[in-house]
């Protein structure tokens, strides 16, 4: 199939990439980051007299509030005031998709860490001290911590959703093999380095400005207006950058920003609230744990003919983004495979955990773990390598995704075969085999992990953005968009777009903070779509300005507009450099009273989805790739290392290779962490046990793979991707799922009796038990 040609093409690409990386653009922020000069919420200059706040939150997961005594706390010197739901002038409601979440608890608490009051004091230290002086009496109500328990008790967020294609029941009857099983994947802490926080300040006439560490400035603005009972124009949100988001600040930055606004509203003074790590871990939602069951049916030649799955999503105590996340689980339930008969259902189960929320992949990884588990199980039962089943079912051009979209520019097979060829899969497998023959107490395992990820908010109306571009008198450029910079490098990409259109150096361009008075009514920076949506809006605005500039140049140089172009800060006529440079052109344009400002709106074309039929074309395009993960397990201890991860990734035509590689490496490591190390634990009372970095292990320099290679796939890119450079934020996380199956294969090499279990994360303890499991 893919022979020499691809191989050589990729070999040369390998060199090309390393060259490109050398000269490729750096993340703009790297300069201020390494000098400690980047500005976060905590670095905002605060007004004299600013108050500091701490959230008093529930010490029980579920119960009736019988009595709260704030008197000792209020009496503490330096305490200004304590705010509760009674102080809310508007609605005590922050629910985005469903109005089911109060800002502050009223008579009942629903999760351990649920906000009850805001203590405002002269210093954070005093506010914390005051918090310890609050007496609360709560009458216990039954606590639900697992999705299964919620399902049994009929506790749901909303109605179930189901997608289907073909006739699954009938197809199972025609299968040569049918297997069923259950899986579990745990939640995951976002662990953004910058915890949740906000700073509110009073302006004139009761207006309030909030500096927030949020991915969704408009959500903060709209919710603050709702809670305060004021018009949205009275609230201004400003975001410089975030110290990481990962989805954790798509919705859950909102309550803390709104609390500062509430206190500012009453006190007419600035208020700052930044959670410490302990409070953040305890109060905020995480990736959703999923308990799922599957049924998979195959023919003799390993074609998957039918697939059925039920996903129980542990949504926590309120909806938050759970319904949207559940939807994406369904969209990605078949990963990179074409299956003619599929039926899936997801139930958002209401429990007494903090409302779980967006996390890189947004439910997609949870769905993909289940199909990969089903394939591993089928392979083990049939007695073939999982990769034979994976390979036999990869998507092809014009296959129908089971939600109705027809697959175009499909790269699933291209990525798969390129990975096998370039990285020489036979040699890698032989190496593993030889090692396992020679070694008794160490075993290696290898797994392939293909990914397919849809790009666009699954909720079609959210796919839009705007850009406001000013060219200043001196030829420098300022750009505002809805994009929030959270380390992903979106500002650099937007700057590249403008530099590309105007043909000016990036030093002439500044990306402004994200501010709701400059760009309004925005979707959050999420869904891997931020650079596409905001980049396309920027492209549109810059192109409109360029046309105006060309007209001025044509008048100045007495040449037809069509012959004019701009290059390296000069005007060219018919490819001949003129004496008119960029700065002069701008000043001429100004003198002619032509506008040097443009505001553009971009909405992704072609996408649609009909929720009554659960069919449509929800994604602008898909991102593809394949990873080969190799691990070595210490069979005495159950500990393990990842020897290498080799990836062929579909970047499209990457515009910022260094940034994109960073996203692939970071996503991969975060995915491996989710699958292997990171273990969230609640006790049966709903109390978070893994509530500090001493009890919650994230990947560090010792646990990352010894080597990561991520080679670009040769592709055309996609028209709907910004400058054909595909979205890269979330897809690579799912390569990490391969780590789970690589570990399983190593365990099987040591213990042939091991009965496959699909219960992530595969921690060292679980590996050890599996190694010595004796059925
Ligand atoms: N956020 C959202 C997301 O609101 N809708 C989405 O489809 C999505 N997908 C990925 C990550 N965040
Ligand atoms: Mo997200 S999971 O905020 O893209």
| pLDDT, tens only, 699-717 | 999 999 999 999 999 888 9
% pLDDT > 70, the chain: 97
Q: What integer pLDDT is reported at residue 10 of this predicted model? A: 52
- CB of 743 shorter than 6 A to ligand 2: no
249, HSE (Cβ side, Cα atoms, 13 Å) = 30
| Helices 364-382, 737-750: inter-axial angle, 10-degree rounding | 30
The predicted model gives 340-352 an average pLDDT of 98
Query: Which is it for strands 177-185 and 759-760: parallel, antiparallel or unpaired?
Result: parallel
- CB of 529 shorter than 6 A to ligand 1: no
The predicted model gives 66-81 an average pLDDT of 98
> Cα(592)–Cα(568) distance, rounded to whole angstroms?
23
- CB of 356 shorter than 6 A to ligand 2: no
Kindly identify the ligand whose nearest atom is closest to the C-alpha of 216.
2
The predicted model gives 575-604 an average pLDDT of 98
Same-domain check for residues 557 and 643: no
pLDDT tops 70 at residue 569? yes
**Beta strand spans in 70-176 (E):** 79-83, 108-109, 115-121, 135-140, 161-165
Report yes or no: 200 and 260 within 8 Å, Cβ to Cβ. yes
pLDDT tops 60 at residue 22? no
Same-domain check for residues 589 and 469: yes
Q: What integer pLDDT is reported at residue 24 of this predicted model? A: 67
Q: What integer pLDDT is reported at residue 427 of this predicted model? A: 98
State CA 604 to chain mean position distance. Answer: 19
Q: Greatest CA separation found in the chain?
A: 87
Report yes or no: 414 and 624 within 8 Å, Cβ to Cβ. yes
Asked if residue 120 is part of any domain, the answer here is: no
> Cα(367)–Cα(360) distance, rounded to whole angstroms?
13
Asked if residue 222 is part of any domain, the answer here is: no
In the listed set 603, 633, 656, which residue is the last one of a domain according to the structure? 603
The predicted model gives 472-496 an average pLDDT of 97
Same-domain check for residues 663 and 757: yes
> Cα(208)–Cα(201) distance, rounded to whole angstroms?
6
In the listed set 603, 630, 655, which residue is the last one of a domain according to the structure? 603
- At 230 the three-state DSSP class reads coil
The predicted model gives 69-91 an average pLDDT of 98
State the burial class of residue 396 (Cβ atoms within 10 Å of its Cβ: 0-12, 13-18, 19+): exposed
Same-domain check for residues 477 and 425: no
Supply the DSSP string of 473-536, one letter for each residue. TTS-EEEEESPPPSSS-HHHHHHHHHHHHHT--GGGEEEPPEETTTS-SPPPS-TT-HHHHHHH
Q: How far is the CA of 441 from the centre of ligand 1 (A)?
A: 44
**DSSP element (H, E) containing 258:** helix 254-267
Q: What integer pLDDT is reported at residue 714 of this predicted model? A: 86
| pLDDT, tens only, 531-557 | 999 999 999 999 999 999 999 999 999
Residue 649: closest CA among 705, 727, 532, 704: 727
Q: Give the residue, out of 358, 457, 490, 733, with the most ligand 2 atoms within 8 A of its beta carbon, to mutate for a pocket test.
A: 358
Strand partners, 641: 632
- CB of 362 shorter than 6 A to ligand 1: yes
Q: Residue 663's pLDDT band (boundaries 50, 70, 90)?
A: very high
Strand partners, 312: 291, 347
| pLDDT, tens only, 441-469 | 999 999 999 999 999 999 999 999 999 99
**Beta strand spans in 157-287 (E):** 161-165, 177-185, 197-202, 208-212, 235-239, 271-274
State the burial class of residue 636 (Cβ atoms within 10 Å of its Cβ: 0-12, 13-18, 19+): exposed
- CB of 359 shorter than 6 A to ligand 2: yes
- CB of 457 shorter than 6 A to ligand 1: yes
In the listed set 572, 603, 634, which residue is the last one of a domain according to the structure? 603
Q: How far is the CA of 130 from the centre of ligand 1 (A)?
A: 38
> Cα(478)–Cα(384) distance, rounded to whole angstroms?
58
Q: What are phi and psi of 345, to 5 degrees?
A: -140, 140
Q: How far is the CA of 456 from the centre of ligand 2 (A)?
A: 11
The predicted model gives 643-666 an average pLDDT of 96
Asked if residue 487 is part of any domain, the answer here is: yes
> Cα(758)–Cα(380) distance, rounded to whole angstroms?
13
Q: Nearest C-alpha to atom 4 of ligand 1 is from which residue?
A: 457
CATH of the domain at 485: 3.30.365.10
Sequence-distant (≥ 6) Cβ neighbours of residue 719 within 8 angstroms? none
* Global pTM value: 0.96
pLDDT tops 50 at residue 5? no
Same-domain check for residues 429 and 489: no
Total domains in the chain come to: 2
Same-domain check for residues 775 and 629: yes
The predicted model gives 482-498 an average pLDDT of 97
The predicted model gives 40-60 an average pLDDT of 97
Same-domain check for residues 690 and 748: yes
- CB of 195 shorter than 6 A to ligand 1: no
Q: What integer pLDDT is reported at residue 21 of this predicted model? A: 44
Q: What integer pLDDT is reported at residue 6 of this predicted model? A: 42
Measured CA angle at 580 (ends 577, 581), to 5 deg: 95
Q: Which atom in ligand 1 lies closest to the alpha carbon of residue 360?
A: 11
State the burial class of residue 627 (Cβ atoms within 10 Å of its Cβ: 0-12, 13-18, 19+): buried
Q: What integer pLDDT is reported at residue 9 of this predicted model? A: 43
> Cα(673)–Cα(736) distance, rounded to whole angstroms?
8
Asked if residue 621 is part of any domain, the answer here is: yes
- CB of 531 shorter than 6 A to ligand 2: no
Q: How far is the CA of 528 from the centre of ligand 2 (A)?
A: 7
pLDDT tops 70 at residue 15? no
Q: Residue 19's pLDDT band (boundaries 50, 70, 90)?
A: very low
Active site residues: 730
Which residue segment(s) compose the domain that 584 sits in?
464-603
pLDDT tops 90 at residue 135? yes
pLDDT tops 80 at residue 588? yes
Q: How far is the CA of 462 from the centre of ligand 2 (A)?
A: 13
Strand partners, 624: 452
Q: What integer pLDDT is reported at residue 698 of this predicted model? A: 95
Kindly identify the ligand whose nearest atom is closest to the C-alpha of 250.
2
| pLDDT, tens only, 246-296 | 999 999 999 999 999 999 999 999 999 999 999 999 999 999 999 999 999
Same-domain check for residues 493 and 628: no
- CB of 360 shorter than 6 A to ligand 2: yes
Give Rg (Cα) of the chain.
27
- CB of 526 shorter than 6 A to ligand 1: yes
pLDDT tops 80 at residue 731? yes
Asked if residue 11 is part of any domain, the answer here is: yes
- CB of 457 shorter than 6 A to ligand 2: no
- CB of 526 shorter than 6 A to ligand 2: yes
Report yes or no: 134 and 56 within 8 Å, Cβ to Cβ. yes
Which residue do the tokens 């709903």 mark? 686
Q: How far is the CA of 74 from the centre of ligand 2 (A)?
A: 39
Sequence-distant (≥ 6) Cβ neighbours of residue 556 within 8 angstroms? 580, 585, 588
Q: Give the residue, out of 458, 616, 618, 727, with the most ligand 1 atoms within 8 A of its beta carbon, to mutate for a pocket test.
A: 458
Report yes or no: 471 and 712 within 8 Å, Cβ to Cβ. no
Q: Nearest C-alpha to atom 7 of ligand 1 is from which residue?
A: 457
Q: How far is the CA of 176 from the centre of ligand 2 (A)?
A: 40
pLDDT tops 80 at residue 425? yes
Query: Which is it for strands 51-57 and 115-121: parallel, antiparallel or unpaired?
Result: antiparallel
Q: Which atom in ligand 1 lies closest to the alpha carbon of residue 247?
A: 12
Q: Give the residue, out of 96, 360, 674, with the most ligand 2 atoms within 8 A of its beta carbon, to mutate for a pocket test.
A: 360
Q: What integer pLDDT is reported at residue 2 of this predicted model? A: 38
Q: Give the residue, out of 214, 247, 250, 455, with the most ligand 1 atoms within 8 A of its beta carbon, to mutate for a pocket test.
A: 250
Asked if residue 167 is part of any domain, the answer here is: no
Q: What integer pLDDT is reported at residue 8 of this predicted model? A: 38
- At 540 the three-state DSSP class reads helix
Same-domain check for residues 491 and 542: yes
> Cα(312)–Cα(682) distance, rounded to whole angstroms?
18
């Amino acid at each position: 199939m893919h022979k020499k040609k691809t191989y050589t093409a990729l070999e040369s690409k390998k060199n090309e990439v390393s060259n490109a990386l050398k000269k490729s653009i750096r993340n703009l922020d790297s300069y201020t980051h390494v000098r400690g000069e980047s500005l976060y919420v905590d670095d905002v200059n605060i007004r004299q007299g600013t108050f500091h706040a701490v959230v008093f939150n529930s010490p029980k997961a579920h119960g009736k509030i019988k009595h709260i005594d704030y008197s000792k706390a209020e009496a503490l010197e330096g305490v200004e005031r304590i705010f509760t739901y009674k102080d809310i002038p508007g609605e005590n409601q922050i629910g985005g998709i469903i109005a089911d979440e109060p800002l502050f608890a009223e008579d009942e608490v629903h999760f351990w860490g649920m906000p009850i009051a805001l203590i405002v004091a002269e210093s954070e230290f005093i506010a914390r001290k005051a918090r310890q002086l609050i007496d609360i009496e709560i009458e216990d109500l039954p606590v639900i911590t697992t999705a299964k328990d919620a399902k049994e008790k009929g506790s749901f967020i909303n109605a179930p959703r189901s997608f289907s294609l073909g006739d699954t029941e009938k197809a199972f009857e025609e299968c040569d093999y049918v297997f069923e099983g259950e899986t579990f994947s745990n939640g995951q802490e976002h662990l953004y380095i910058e915890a949740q926080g906000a700073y509110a300040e009073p302006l004139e006439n009761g207006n309030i400005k909030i500096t927030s560490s949020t991915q969704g400035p408009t959500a903060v603005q709209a919710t603050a207006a709702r809670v305060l009972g004021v018009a949205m124009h009275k609230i201004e949100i400003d975001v410089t950058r975030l110290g990481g988001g990962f989805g954790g600040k798509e919705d859950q930055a909102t309550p803390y920003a709104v609390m500062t606004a509430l206190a500012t509203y009453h006190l007419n003074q600035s208020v700052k609230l930044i959670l410490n790590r302990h409070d953040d871990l305890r109060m905020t939602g995480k990736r959703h744990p999923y308990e799922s069951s599957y049924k998979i049916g195959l023919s003799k030649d390993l074609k998957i003919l039918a697939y059925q799955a039920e996903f129980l999503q542990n949504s926590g105590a309120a909806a938050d983004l759970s319904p949207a996340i559940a939807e994406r689980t369904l969209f990605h339930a078949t990963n990179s495979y074409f299956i003619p008969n599929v039926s899936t259902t997801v139930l958002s189960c209401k429990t007494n955990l903090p409302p779980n929320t967006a996390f890189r992949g947004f439910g997609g990884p949870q769905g993909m773990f289940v199909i990969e588990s089903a394939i591993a199980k089928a392979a083990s039962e049939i007695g073939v390598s999982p990769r034979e089943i994976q390979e036999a079912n990869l998507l092809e051009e014009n296959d129908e995704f089971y939600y109705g979209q027809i697959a175009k520019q499909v790269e699933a097979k291209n990525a798969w075969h390129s990975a096998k060829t370039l990285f020489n899969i036979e040699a890698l497998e032989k190496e593993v085999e030889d090692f396992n023959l020679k070694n008794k107490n160490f075993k290696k395992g290898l797994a392939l992990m293909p990914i397919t990820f849809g790009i666009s908010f699954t909720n079609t109306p959210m796919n839009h953005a705007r850009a406001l571009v000013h060219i200043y008198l001196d030829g420098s450029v300022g750009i505002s968009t809805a994009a929030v910079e959270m380390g992903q490098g979106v500002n650099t990409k937007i700057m590249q777009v403008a530099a590309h259109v105007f043909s000016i150096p990036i030093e002439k361009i500044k990306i402004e903070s994200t501010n709701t008075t400059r760009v309004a009514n925005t979707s959050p920076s999420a869904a891997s779509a931020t650079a596409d949506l905001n980049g396309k809006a920027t492209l549109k605005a810059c192109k409109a300005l360029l046309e105006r500039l060309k007209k001025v140049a044509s008048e100045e140089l007495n040449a037809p507009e069509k012959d004019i172009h701009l290059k390296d800060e000069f005007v060219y006529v018919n490819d001949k450099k003129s004496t008119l440079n960029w700065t002069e052109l701008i000043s001429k344009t100004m003198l002619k009273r032509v506008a040097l400002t443009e505001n553009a709106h971009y909405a992704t074309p072609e996408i649609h989805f009909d929720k009554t039929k659960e069919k449509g074309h929800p994604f602008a395009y898909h991102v593809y790739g394949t990873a080969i993960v190799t691990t070595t397990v210490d069979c005495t201890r159950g500990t393990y290392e990842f020897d290498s991860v080799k990836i062929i990734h579909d970047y499209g035509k990457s515009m910022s290779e260094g940034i994109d590689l960073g996203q692939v490496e970071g996503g991969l490591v975060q995915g491996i962490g989710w699958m292997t190390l990171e273990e969230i634990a609640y006790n049966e009372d709903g109390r978070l046990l893994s509530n500090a970095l001493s009890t919650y292990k994230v990947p560090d320099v010792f646990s990352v793979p010894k080597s990561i290679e991520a080679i670009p796939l040769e592709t055309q890119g996609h028209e709907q991707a910004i400058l054909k450079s595909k979205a890269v934020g979330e897809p690579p996380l799912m390569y990490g799922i391969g780590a789970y199956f690589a570990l399983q294969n190593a365990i099987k090499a040591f213990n042939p009796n091991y009965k496959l279990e699909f219960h992530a994360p595969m921690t060292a303890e679980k590996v050890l038990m599996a190694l010595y499991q004796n059925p």
